[in-house]
Chains A and B, each alone.
Chain A
Amino acid sequence: DAKTTQPPSMDCAEGRAANLPCNHSTISGNEYVYWYRQIHSQGPQYIIHGLKNNETNEMASLIITEDRKSSTLILPHATLRDTAVYYCMRQRGPMDSNYQLIWGAGTKLIIKP
Chain B
Amino acid sequence: GAGVSQSPRYKVAKRGQDVALRCDPISGHVSLFWYQQALGQGPEFLTYFQNEAQLDKSGLPSDRFFAERPEGSVSTLKIQRTQQEDSAVYLCASSGIAGVAYNEQFFGPGTRLTVL
Show the binding face of A for B, using Cβ within 8 Å. Answer: 32, 36, 41-46, 49, 87, 91-94, 96-106
Contact = CB atoms under 8 A, between A and B. Distances in A.
Interface size class of B (residues with CB under 8 A): 20 to 34
A87 B42 contact: yes
Nearest to B9: A41
A105 B41 contact: yes
B31 A99 contact: yes
Contacts of B43: 44, 101, 103
Contacts of A100: 45, 48, 56, 59
Interface of B: 4, 31, 33, 35, 40-45, 48, 55-56, 59, 91, 93, 99-102, 104-110
A46 B99 CA distance: 19
A93 B108 contact: no
Given A43-B108, A106-B42, A99 B101 contact: yes
Contact of A43 (B31, B45, B91, B100): B91
Nearest to B45: A100
8 contacts: A41-B109, A44-B105, A49-B104, A93-B101, A94-B101, A97-B56, A99-B31, A103-B45
A40 to B, nearest CB: 12
Given A44-B91, A87-B42, A101 B105 contact: yes
A103 B108 CA distance: 17
A45 B42 contact: no
6 closest A-B pairs by CB: A43-B107, A103-B42, A46-B104, A94-B101, A100-B45, A99-B101
